[in-house]
A = this chain, B = another copy of it.
Amino acid sequence: MDEAAFALRNATVAIVGLGLMGGSLALALRAKNACAKIIAIERDADTRAHARARGVVDQASADLALAAAADVIILATPVRVILEQLPRVGAVARAHAIVMDLGSTKRQITQALDALPTPLQAIGAHPLCGKETAGFAAADANLFRAAAFVLTPLARTTPQTLAFAQTLAEILGARPVILAAARHDQIVAAISHLPFALAATLMTTAADRARGDDMLFALAASGFRDTSRLAASDTPMMLDTLLTNRENVVDSLRTYSRQLGALADALARGDETTLRAALEMAAEKRRGMFT
């Protein structure tokens, strides 16, 4: 066991938000017996009771003040909630506690982490996994398995804290990847936020086309199911994600719209050569992934 794993083994971990991410984290830490104690800060009383009854957490409260008892504080709420909670965490946390978040955009959060009182250790994180079902009921100890676990260290992040975060990711079965916050936000705009916006808009267009025609949705098959899956994502979480990565997402959407428009134009004029080249490039690129 390395130093970081040992430190975690003896640590009290506070998880803020027992949703899909935070709940899965609690389940995984418990399953691996990776830390001494798990505290949950969760506003929903049913979730708190449920998590305690299942033995997933040792203590639970709606009050962020409980974070004062923790060596490691991990915020797993939507991005704008994290931004609001961080100063309050900073006000109650122990002098040398590690503060980490799992928010899906990182630039604004990195700034908020940087504003924490200096004795605190701070690092941003974003595990690139999820499902379209939100909440503790959907939590899964294996959620992080084989996922990329992006870490966005600050200038003030010590090598010990970074090593700790890497070890945490590995204990969860994930693959730690160190990235600058700005680069992270650009990349996820294209690979995560854009696909979400496409799926949501697909539902909008399909609903428009289905007006008075139940047959349309009745005939939708696996292709539609997969392409539209992300549309079912948790709206509050996605709103926070999009609004805190606005420039990158708008930029991706504009580029996408231009490219979709070019495809529509080629089809409209029956330009088979252009169409074939675009579709072949896309097919080749896609077949080279996930194999």
Q: A residues near B, CB below 8 A?
A: 128-132, 147-148, 150, 177, 179, 183, 186-188, 190-192, 194-210, 213, 215-235, 238-239, 242-243, 246, 249-250, 252-257, 259-261, 263-264, 267-268, 270, 272, 275-276, 278-283, 285-287, 289-290
Contact = CB atoms under 8 A, between A and B. Distances in A.
11 contacts: A131-B222, A147-B221, A177-B218, A190-B206, A191-B224, A199-B227, A203-B282, A203-B285, A225-B289, A227-B229, A243-B272
A198 B257 CA distance: 10
A225 B130 CA distance: 12
The 8 closest A-B pairs by CB, nearest first: A195-B227, A200-B282, A203-B282, A253-B264, A231-B286, A190-B209, A232-B286, A226-B226
B275 A195 contact: no
A202 B254 CA distance: 12
Given A130-B223, A232-B286, A279 B200 contact: yes
Nearest to A229: B226
Given A130-B221, A201-B260, A231-B285, 19 more contacts: A148-B218, A150-B219, A190-B210, A191-B224, A192-B223, A198-B227, A199-B286, A200-B278, A200-B279, A207-B281, A225-B290, A226-B229, A227-B227, A228-B289, A232-B287, A250-B268, A253-B267, A254-B264, A257-B261
Given A242-B267, A255-B205, A270-B243, A221 B283 contact: no
Contacts of A216: 187, 190-191
Nearest to A187: B216
B285 A207 contact: yes
A282 B253 CA distance: 17
Contacts of A201: 256, 259-260, 263, 282
A272 to B, nearest CB: 7
B246 A257 contact: no
A231 B287 CA distance: 8
B221 A128 contact: yes
B289 A221 contact: no
A180 B147 CA distance: 46
A179 B290 contact: no
A220 B289 contact: yes
Contact of A239 (B195, B239, B279): B279
A148 B224 CA distance: 13
Given A205-B194, A246-B267, A253-B260, A231 B282 contact: yes
Given A200-B283, A250-B268, A259-B204, A195 B224 contact: yes
Contacts of A191: 206, 216-217, 219-221, 223-224
